[in-house]
Structure 1
């Protein structure tokens, strides 16, 4: 690249901006990119994005489906006899559901700080997935309230690494213009998991209850946990690391992947573990008022969305048999997936963000009011 005095170098130079800001700032475009015409660079960039999409997007959506599946299958397990077999009384079942989020909250921020320092998501995320798959399978062996409580707490602690880790990974590969649709695709995994959960639980409840002397709810944990372990092992070979550390990119593609983000946000997102601070990103987030506003919005949506954790139980209140109830949980999630993707697509097309964030919760509030104000099946299901 050409410096202030016309000197040339074949690499990108970085300079820490301040003592408190250890993240280097990009100074100039790599030579390999400067020699490209705008059309050539655009073609190369499209090819790079397609290449990353094919390795990253499909895999993280599948992983997120299993993340939610292993987290929320306790609701289907209750319908399949978990509460009766473990002799849960009073609010013990509700406590078993909620304790997961204690571990989840404790680990989310520290996990991303660790991931940022290591810079190896292809190892870190699948390893966490392997751990939660084993824990989910082990839940099938619980014989008491205490055992269930321990499994759920540890499950939340380990699962906490995944969603924030995926958001971090997506932001390390995609520009702001590309990020919304891909984040929506990632989040659609949580909705699809609700659809698959009902179908899988219905199949297991109707076909495996008592098989080999094992109750249906235990089969639920065994099968879903085993699938998670299998996918975790495969994902190690598919999930990319960061632009500068992904081995299946050429040197030119690595430079382009890093530079286009630097051009988008004004600085290189990740150089190497020596340049990364465990606390720098956390400090910036704590100082940003927009982060706190979004935190409040997410808190409200997550609190109201807790109904999804108990959705099979809520559906059971509509008076259908167990298998029909589990099957009825599928359509709302499929509709939700379509709406999420359309909302993200339209937000990108128009460039408008506020209404796309604010209007869906208003519709949700109206839906909650309808559900509370009538006992008719059609209205409550809608």
Structure 2
């Protein structure tokens, strides 16, 4: 009697599943990431209008992740109780409304408060989707799916740069609002609409999918069950005490330092290279993200096919670090800086889908919900540390260079940890 299912048998079914799920989840992440980092574009006008320093901007950009950190684990655990459909819709609607409300920021206090609330509202979205993918895909298929989902970061950069630049330039002054106020208003509303759509489109899991036949559901559930035999279903207390989980959180923290260095400071780095027009800056930010959108999917596919994770993640992180260093050294040369920033963005973004194949291969059940959320919440504290440190260093020295070097060193440190200690799934 046959006890396992071959990939050849499952490939057509998983193609159907992927066409149903991934475009929608990808769209959700584009909206999420755009709302999270559009403050990097708003900065180009907002600081002068509100008389904020770079340190104030850095704290405001980063305080998002304090709210994110505090509510991440509870959010992911609540998703296991309420179901993905309702919980992800709740997240998207609330963060879209708060993102639009950032147009009302008129002081340091309101800026900080709204950024904190935005983080609290969005908490649980990314780890919730990572957990949701484990309901559908076995480990050896997951890096590709995470890469497709996370390519939303790159596409948000491709679309968001020109869009943000155009909004800020074209709408400035209309109805008495500044360009940055229109930016927050117009880019927050799509998240609300997609959140409402989520209630009607997303299924909580395989069993709830009305577009699958009973035979299809059994095949998919069997594939997940076979994959689950290799996972640990730890009590929650042991998840929080696991040295491996905390090591993964540290590695993720170091990688995220680099990610948000690019996300929050890319427009400024391009401006430093001699480009002054805000719309031109927006167009140029699309170049690194366009390259990264393709490269990160190819890297994840190669990692899935080879079954190797450790060196793939480390090589991508080191490439990201080198790109940041070269872009900083040649910051006065737009062509060289743009090429280096493309390498940096590609390397940094390529680390993440490969990284997330590690904890999802190791943990199952409630342990997966808590472990993924813990790793993501601790790691994303770098989203606070990264812009704050770069902003503070710039205020102290008059240059972003030393701050960017710090981010590059963080990426290299993460790569060393991944290679030095064998992690689950590698």
TM-score by length of 1: 0.81
Instruction: State the distance in 1 between where 2:199 and 2:231 align.
Output: 25
Q: Deviations over 1:325-358 (max 9, x none)?
A: 1211110011111111110111122222221111
> Which of the residues 334, 344, 357 maps onto 2:300?
344
Shift of 1:42: 5.9
| 1:75 matched to 2:40 | yes
Shift of 1:57: 0.7
| 1:367 matched to 2:332 | no
Give the match's secondary structure for 1:310. Answer: helix
Instruction: State the distance in 1 between where 2:230 and 2:280 align.
Output: 53
Residue 314 of structure 1 corresponds to 269
Shift of 1:88: 1.9
Instruction: State the distance in 2 between where 1:243 and 1:215 align.
Output: 47
Instruction: State the distance in 2 between where 1:91 and 1:167 align.
Output: 33
| 1:192 matched to 2:147 | no
| 1:379 matched to 2:333 | no
Contact 1:285 1:291 in 2 (8 A): yes
Shift of 1:46: 3.9
RMSD of aligned residue pairs (Cα, Å): 2.5
Residue 181 of structure 2 corresponds to 218
> Which of the residues 42, 48, 56 maps onto 1:84?
48
> Relative to structure 1, is the Cα distance of residues 263 and 90 closer, same or farther in structure 2, using a 3 angstrom cutoff?
closer
Shift of 1:304: 2.0
Q: Deviations over 1:200-246 (max 9, x none)?
A: 11211232111222211111111111111111111222222122333
Give the match's secondary structure for 2:38. Answer: helix
Instruction: State the distance in 2 between where 1:325 and 1:216 align.
Output: 15
Residue 240 of structure 2 corresponds to 286
Instruction: State the distance in 1 between where 2:238 and 2:135 align.
Output: 17
Contact 1:56 1:240 in 2 (8 A): no
Q: Deviations over 1:236-278 (max 9, x none)?
A: 2222212233344344333333222111222899xxxxxxx9x
Shift of 1:47: 4.6
Give the match's secondary structure for 2:28. Answer: helix
Q: Deviations over 1:172-208 (max 9, x none)?
A: 1101111110011111111211121111112112321
Give the match's secondary structure for 1:244. Answer: helix
> Which of the residues 65, 84, 88 maps onto 1:125?
88
Residue 9 of structure 1 corresponds to none
> Relative to structure 1, is the Cα distance of residues 90 and 364 closer, same or farther in structure 2, using a 3 angstrom cutoff?
closer
> Which of the residues 12, 15, 28 maps onto 1:63?
28
Give the match's secondary structure for 1:172. Answer: helix
> Which of the residues 169, 181, 190 maps onto 2:144?
181
Residue 142 of structure 1 corresponds to 105
Instruction: State the distance in 1 between where 2:295 and 2:302 align.
Output: 10
> Relative to structure 1, is the Cα distance of residues 326 and 284 closer, same or farther in structure 2, using a 3 angstrom cutoff?
same
Instruction: State the distance in 1 between where 2:221 and 2:129 align.
Output: 18
> Relative to structure 1, is the Cα distance of residues 38 and 292 closer, same or farther in structure 2, using a 3 angstrom cutoff?
closer
Instruction: State the distance in 1 between where 2:8 and 2:53 align.
Output: 62
| 1:114 matched to 2:70 | no
| Structure 1: gaps of 5 or more residues | 1-33, 270-276
Instruction: State the distance in 1 between where 2:4 and 2:118 align.
Output: 50
Contact 1:343 1:356 in 2 (8 A): yes
TM-score by length of 2: 0.73
Residue 195 of structure 2 corresponds to 232
Give the match's secondary structure for 2:253. Answer: helix
Contact 1:173 1:261 in 2 (8 A): yes
Bigger fraction of residues in helix: 2
Larger radius of gyration: 1
Runs of 4+ in 1 over 6 A off after TM superposition: 34-39
> Relative to structure 1, is the Cα distance of residues 331 and 124 closer, same or farther in structure 2, using a 3 angstrom cutoff?
same
Instruction: State the distance in 2 between where 1:196 and 1:57 align.
Output: 18
Instruction: State the distance in 2 between where 1:342 and 1:35 align.
Output: 33
Instruction: State the distance in 2 between where 1:38 and 1:145 align.
Output: 58
| Structure 2: gaps of 5 or more residues | 340-426
Q: Deviations over 1:297-319 (max 9, x none)?
A: 21111112221212212221112
Instruction: State the distance in 2 between where 1:174 and 1:186 align.
Output: 13
Instruction: State the distance in 1 between where 2:205 and 2:127 align.
Output: 15
Contact 2:272 2:331 in 1 (8 A): no
